[in-house]
Amino acid sequence: MPLAVVKSGALQGVSAAPVEVEVNTGESGEPRMVLVGLPDAAVKESNDRVASALANSGARLPQTRTTVNLAPGDMRKEGAMYDLPIALGILAATAQMPLAHEGILSEYLVAGELALSGEVRPVRGGLPLALLAREAGLRGILLPEKSAREAALAEGIAVHAVKTLDEARAFLEGRLALPLVPSPVADGVPEEPDYDVDFSEVKGQMALRRAVEVAVAGGHNILMIGPPGSGKSMVAKRIPTIMPEPSLAEYLQILAIHSAAGMTLGDESLHLCRPFRSPHHTISDVGLLGGGTIPGPGEISLAHAGVLFMDELPEFKRGVLEVLRQPLEDGEVTISRSAGKITVPSAFMLVAAMNPCPCGYLGDPRHECRCSPVQIQRYRSRVSGPLLDRIDIHVEAPALSIEEMRSAKPGESSRAIRERVRAARAVQKTRFEGSGATCNARMAHRHLREFCPLSRENGDLLQQAMEQLNLSARAYDRILKVSRTIADLDASKDIRPQHLLEAIHYRSLDRAVFY
């Protein structure tokens, strides 16, 4: 009985695993196609899509029972990405596709959804599939046009874009030469983004702007506390404009995560920018962490190497906030489901905002706060102490005065701030080279001893602050990390008293404001 095998892949989190599409025809029994190998509903529907695509492409359907096996059989398969390899397998098994040479099907990885007309539609995970093909030592990969563009970012693998089933068939028969899809990255570096927003549009809030600059320079998590209209959300949305551009390796990781989640960044244009995710406070813990029947990335992974903005922090469900604790510490999240276990990177910068009380006007000189002490305490207690300990910087965002709102003078631009941040990050890159850390916020305990030594004067100062503010041991480490960043911005080799005092000021809010 004729047998054809086409190589494909299955997405597992943000990576891809090899799948072989085995097509066996000529079996006795009712002429129909049987699909096995733990397919989900979308994969099972391939029967009808493939049959129509073959008929509309001028091919004849098998007149015998045909078995399609997606191996390995113990791995769940989802999505419509197996349409194209199944169709090509049927053409090869029924001798309707004379291959250019024996074994050509084993040289290429194939994925794509088929329209009833035979057109090939894009699929999720173009970049992870290309990386899988490269690791397997294959000659190339056949993908739909849009998916192929992002896949071309993977160096060392030939990427070919196919628009129709006929094109893929002609290519494998040797009748059509498909050109290689060029990498969308010019000279190895994607073009720098042109942001629609800028920090020059933020009026006043000098203390908040300074705290944000420190946070970005060291990759620190930050919590902004202030009344409605004080500019917390406005500032948060402009944080990506002052972040240093990711390296090409970071960018490929960002793109791989978005591609696996079906949110391809490479459909139109590729820019060297960091992601900004802002989930609504009604999000579930699965939506935030990731999961599903077949585990996939959530919001914290989509924010990897970028910003996760959580507005109205106390309005999030307590359980959702508590699941942030482990990813904030480890920079990755492990998701276990019956279909398997995956570990997804989630080294994001948390930017959170909240009101000082339920009505939002506690401490606002122009509005009266009508919240009772019990209501204020209940509102603030929604954010636990252990979570606050993992947020390096807490800063107040006071209400703007009328004079500040009327001011026509623009503030400092994002470009100017970004240059100082780049200089501080360059120092950190040299400091942590080969150690695994990428910025001050990711320092391990051994790095604290090596790069954050304190003089006797600074040690006494920090001890006094810890005792008076009743700070935790974790807060002690956070203060050292933030003071190291402030010293880097000041181009100082040593941590000086003014650097330590500013860092302590940023930590004092979790006791002075919240308790």
Residue 349 has pLDDT above 90, yes or no: yes
Residue 322 has pLDDT above 60, yes or no: yes
Residue 99 has pLDDT above 60, yes or no: yes
pLDDT tens, 33-80?
A: 899 998 988 888 899 999 999 999 999 888 889 999 999 988 888 889
For residue 341, what are the contacts with CB-CB under 8 A and spacing of at least 6?
295, 334, 335
Question: Using CA atoms, how far apart are residues 23 and 28, in angstroms rounded to an integer?
Answer: 15
Q: In sequence order, what E strands does 38-177 have?
A: 65-71, 108-110, 113-114, 120-121, 140-144, 158-162
% pLDDT > 90, the chain: 58
Q: How far apart are the first and last CA of the chain?
A: 76
Q: Which helix (H) or strand (E) holds 289?
A: helix 285-289
Fold of 199-433: Rossmann fold (3.40.50)
Q: Please report the pLDDT score of residue 52 as a whole number.
A: 95
At 324, is the pLDDT very low, low, confident or very high (cuts 50, 70, 90)? very high
Residue 293 has pLDDT above 60, yes or no: yes
Question: Was domain 3-173 assigned CATH 3.30.499.10?
Answer: no
At 473, is the pLDDT very low, low, confident or very high (cuts 50, 70, 90)? confident
At 340, is the pLDDT very low, low, confident or very high (cuts 50, 70, 90)? low
Q: In sequence order, what E strands does 72-111 have?
A: 108-110
Q: Please report the pLDDT score of residue 225 as a whole number.
A: 94
Helix axes 126-135, 248-260, angle to 10 degrees: 110
- Please state the rounded mean pLDDT for residues 365-394: 90
Q: Please report the pLDDT score of residue 191 as a whole number.
A: 57
Q: Please report the pLDDT score of residue 512 as a whole number.
A: 43
Residue ranges of domains in the chain: 3-173, 199-433
Q: Please report the pLDDT score of residue 187 as a whole number.
A: 52
Q: Please report the pLDDT score of residue 515 as a whole number.
A: 35
Instruction: Evaluate whether 198 touches 413 at the Cβ level (below 8 Å).
Output: yes
SS3 content of the chain, % helix, strand, coil (to 5): 40, 20, 40
Q: Please report the pLDDT score of residue 271 as a whole number.
A: 59
User: Amino acid identity, residue 338?
Assistant: S
Instruction: Evaluate whether 122 touches 264 at the Cβ level (below 8 Å).
Output: yes
